[in-house]
Amino acid sequence: MPITEDPEPPPGLALAWGLPVKTTRLGRKPSQSVEQIVGAAVELADADGFGALSMPRIAQRLGLTANAIYRYVKSRDELLVLVAEAAWGTAPDLASGAGDWRDAAEVWTRAMIDRCDVHPWLCDLPVRGAPVTPNLLDWTEAILKVLTGAGLTPTEALRCAFVLDGYARQIGGMRRDLRYSTATPAQSDTMTRFLLPRLRERGHSVLASMMDGNEYTDDVVDDDVTFGLDRILDGIGVLVAAKRAATRADSGGPNIRLS
Domain boundaries of the chain, sorted by first residue: 13-18+31-88, 101-181+218-251
Measure Cα distances from 112 to 128, 132, 218 in Å: 18, 17, 22
- Asked if residue 76 lies in contact with residue 66, where contact means CB atoms within 8 angstroms, the answer is no
Topology classification of domain 13-18+31-88: Arc Repressor Mutant, subunit A (1.10.10)
Of 111, 127, 120, 110, the C-alpha closest to 181 is: 120
- SS3 string, 42-53, reads HHHHHHHCHHHC
- Asked if residue 116 lies in contact with residue 48, where contact means CB atoms within 8 angstroms, the answer is no
- Asked if residue 104 lies in contact with residue 145, where contact means CB atoms within 8 angstroms, the answer is no
- The correct CATH number of 101-181+218-251 out of 1.10.357, 1.10.238, 1.20.1160, 1.10.3470 is 1.10.357
- Asked if residue 119 lies in contact with residue 45, where contact means CB atoms within 8 angstroms, the answer is yes
- Asked if residue 168 lies in contact with residue 113, where contact means CB atoms within 8 angstroms, the answer is yes
Angle, CA of 42, 133 and 142, to the nearest 5°: 105
pLDDT score at 255: 53
Task: State how far the Cα of 54 lies from the Cα of 76, in Å rounded to an integer.
Answer: 7
Name the maximum alpha-carbon separation found in the chain. 80
Measure Cα distances from 70 to 59, 61, 80, 218 in Å: 9, 14, 14, 43
Helix (H) or strand (E) holding 104: helix 101-118
- Asked if residue 15 lies in contact with residue 82, where contact means CB atoms within 8 angstroms, the answer is yes
Residue 254 gets which letter from DSSP? -
pLDDT score at 219: 86
Of 67, 69, 45, 62, the C-alpha closest to 118 is: 45
pLDDT score at 1: 47
Task: State how far the Cα of 48 lies from the Cα of 66, in Å rounded to an integer.
Answer: 19
Q: How many residues does the chain have?
A: 259
pLDDT score at 23: 55
> Quick one: how far is CA 149 from the chain centroid?
23
In the Cβ-directed half-sphere of 184, how many Cα atoms lie within 13 Å? Answer: 8
Task: State how far the Cα of 4 lies from the Cα of 42, in Å rounded to an integer.
Answer: 38
**pLDDT by residue, tens only, the chain of 259 residues:** 454 455 677 888 999 998 876 654 545 666 789 999 999 999 999 999 999 999 999 999 999 998 999 999 999 999 999 999 999 999 999 976 556 999 999 999 999 999 999 999 999 998 888 999 999 999 999 999 999 999 999 999 999 999 999 999 999 999 999 988 888 888 889 999 999 999 999 999 999 999 999 899 888 899 999 999 999 999 999 999 999 898 888 776 555 444 3
Rounded to two decimals, the pTM is 0.87
For residue 102, give the 3-state DSSP assignment.
helix
pLDDT score at 80: 96
